[in-house]
Amino acid sequence: QPVVAVVGRPNVGKSTLVNRILGRREAVVQDTPGVTRDRISYDATWRGRRFTLVDTGGWEPGASGLQASITAQAERAMSEADVVLLVVDAVVGPTATDEAVAKVLRRSKRPVLLVANKVDSESLLPEVASLWSLGLGEPYAVSALHGRSSGDLLDAVVDALPEAPRETGLVEAGPRRVALVGKPNVGKSSLLNKLTGEQRAVVDSVAGTTVDPVDSLVELDGQLWRFIDTAGLRKRVQTASGTEYYASLRTKNAIDAAEVVIVLLDASEPLSEQDLRIVTSVADAGRALVLAFNKWDLVDEERRHQLDREIDRGLVRVPWAERVNVSALTGRAVHKLAPALRTALTSWDQRVPTGQLNSWLSDLIAATPPPVRGGKQPKVLFATQAGVRPPTLVLFTTGFLEAGYRRFLERKFREQFGFTGTPIRINVRVRE
């Protein structure tokens, strides 16, 4: 079982972080200077990966001094652990001791993750950026106390663990969750039948598994996917008055429960308000999106040109979504759905490191600065991608950025870094 060691100065919050990772509150051990305490190891699990978490908490006070004893702790962690977490107090910033430890850890052949703890509010993100100076790469901003972003940190820890033997045929994280939505009669059940009909095994409502009985596990392109709330699609629930409301509620719930959404549209008919509402709600919910134009077998040259115009006019909110033209009837291009889902999810999960983001941004802004407002030129001080799923950028500025300029930044950001198939959130924090 791989070992993850947590090192750092006293009072940076190592024990709180360990407890956070273990998902419990008890046994918070005080980092009291002068108290010697043995290293404690715990069993931890994240995304189905098990590892041993070693809290290197205690150190020997004495002639050698604090710094020497923590560096020794780091040396020992490096020799015994597969991954080392160096915890630093973001409020205090990098101290001489942190620098000494970082220097030791930079020699490590093992992955070292820099954890900026006590980031209880976004206003501390510039302080977090100052931790780049430790030379250990991007700092992971977390608040061990409040749980902020500890999931992202754990994702990174698990990614850094040595490759584990596969235990089952299932992906450890479980199948990714897909919603298939669209207005009535666009062909949702036909498409689902086509997708499930082409494969050997459809595992539906598997007894004794954790899969919700209304979901279906579907293998597409060698990968297992969990299609959310397909019970209604399979059984063709009878429509009666009042069901419109329930249908839209069901759609909304499926979108919320999904990671990526296929919005199915009827290419043979004009795009409707209802279509656009569904598309918009996916983007607003922050889910990855694939647009599938169904009934392509009915589309002739003339209709295709019409549709292009409707897309230009109607789908302005989601120019980044991949479009796949399918026919549930003939099976045309349905094999393109799985790759499109994968692309969208990769973008949804993608993170641009802060250093890369800022060097790109400062060049862009030097060439095209934000428009002057009220006689003042707003400056963008610093940017960071604070989150994924969906990718969320935080820009720290000295003034308001107009919507047009924010759209310009998003477009350029996508040109540079990709992000096909996912909405991106941009938050602007104005510093007075």
Pick the piece of the chain touching ligand GDP (CB under 6 A) from 8-16, 97-105, 304-312, 325-333.
325-333
Nearest C-alpha neighbor of 431 from the set 390, 383, 359, 368: 383
Query: What would the DSSP string read from start to end of 252-282?
Result: HHHHHH-SEEEEEEETTS---HHHHHHHHHH
CA distance 45 to 161: 12
Pick the piece of the chain touching ligand GDP (CB under 6 A) from 63-71, 142-150, 294-302, 419-427.
294-302
118 labeled binding residue: yes
137 labeled binding residue: no
Residue type, 387: G
CA dihedral 119, 124, 126, 127 (to 10 degrees): -70
296 labeled binding residue: yes
Determine which residue in the list 250, 295, 342, 389 makes contact with ligand GDP, applying CB under 6 A: 295
Tell whether residue 328 is a contact of ligand GDP (CB under 6 A): yes
126 labeled binding residue: no
Nearest C-alpha neighbor of 142 from the set 28, 14, 25: 14
Provide the minimum distance between the beta carbon of 326 and ligand GDP in the complex, in angstroms, as a whole number.
7
Tell whether residue 329 is a contact of ligand GDP (CB under 6 A): yes
Question: Hey, which residues does 43 pair with through a beta bridge?
Answer: 52
Tell whether residue 111 is a contact of ligand GDP (CB under 6 A): no
What lies within 8 Å, CB to CB, of 325 at 6+ separation is 267, 292, 293, 296, 299, 332, 333
Handedness of CA 191, 197, 200, 202 (dihedral sign): positive
What lies within 8 Å, CB to CB, of 230 at 6+ separation is 180, 192, 214, 215, 216
Between residue 178 and residue 237, which ones bind ligand GDP under the rule CB under 6 A? 182, 184-190, 233
Q: Which is nearer to ligand GDP, 20 or 188 (CB)?
A: 188
Q: Which is nearer to ligand GDP, 105 or 191 (CB)?
A: 191
Pick the piece of the chain touching ligand GDP (CB under 6 A) from 201-209, 293-301, 349-357, 378-386.
293-301
Binding-site residues from annotation? 8-15, 55-59, 117-120, 182-189, 229-233, 294-297
Binding-site residues from annotation for GTP? 8-15, 55-59, 117-120, 182-189, 229-233, 294-297
In the complex, the residues that contact ligand GDP under the rule CB under 6 A are: 182, 184-190, 233, 294-295, 297-298, 327-329
